[in-house]
């Protein structure tokens, strides 16, 4: 897909980018205001989602059609249940594990955004996507530097900062798309 067609597609859907950006900003302020509560909420939500997803996969495996598919889906479901149960019942260890996963996610996601920003280089104010990617990489490095002392606090705070920066970058990018020719 060429750079111009990507920009045209984004221009056609810029209202959704604006709404998403505003939602991210609101979530960011809530998480920054209550970082420990946000950390616990993120950890518990993920644990319960994995538990539910695991149960669905285990039940669904019996309707998969053949035993090879059944075994893979069943093992996947059991893994989901195991990890979900671990997160729900071992909050401290779960938060430490999630802290490492968050750092890895932010690093990879930041690199992807940096690459994507250069694909959008023809768009007006494409630099906002670059800034968002750089911020993600910086947040990943901040987590690694402070690990594990501030694990319970850092997930909620950094996710809040991430949402805030990502939200502002989407808002600014959506405004730039409005003015682009």
- State mean pLDDT over 8-24: 87
Among 101-105, 149-153, 171-175, the range scoring the smallest mean pLDDT is 149-153
Asked if pLDDT for residue 2 goes beyond 60, the answer is: no
CB neighbours of residue 25 within 10 Å: 18
Q: Where are the domains of the chain?
A: 3-179
**What percent of the chain is predicted at pLDDT more than 70?**
97
Dihedral sign computed on CA atoms, order 102, 108, 114, 118: negative
Predicted confidence (pLDDT) per residue in 76-132, tens digit: 999 999 999 999 999 888 888 888 888 899 899 999 999 999 988 888 888 988 999
Is 145's pLDDT higher than 90?
no
| Summary mean pLDDT of the chain | 87
């Amino acid at each position: 897909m060429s750079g111009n067609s990507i920009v045209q597609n984004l221009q056609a859907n810029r209202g959704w980018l604006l709404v998403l950006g505003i939602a991210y900003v609101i979530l960011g302020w809530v998480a920054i205001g209550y970082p420990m509560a946000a950390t616990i909420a993120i950890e518990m939500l993920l644990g319960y989602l994995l538990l539910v997803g695991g149960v669905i996969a285990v039940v669904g495996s019996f309707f998969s059609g053949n035993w090879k598919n059944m075994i893979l889906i069943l093992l996947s479901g059991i893994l989901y249940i195991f990890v979900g149960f671990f997160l729900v019942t071992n909050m401290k260890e779960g938060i430490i594990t999630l802290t490492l996963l968050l750092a890895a996610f932010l690093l990879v996601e930041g690199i992807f955004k940096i690459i994507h920003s250069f694909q959008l280089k023809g768009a007006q104010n494409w630099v906002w996507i670059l800034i968002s990617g750089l911020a993600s990489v910086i947040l990943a490095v901040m987590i690694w530097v402070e690990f594990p002392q501030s694990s319970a606090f850092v997930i909620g705070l950094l996710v809040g900062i991430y949402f805030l920066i990502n939200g502002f970058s989407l808002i600014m990018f959506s405004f730039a798309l409005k003015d682009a020719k």
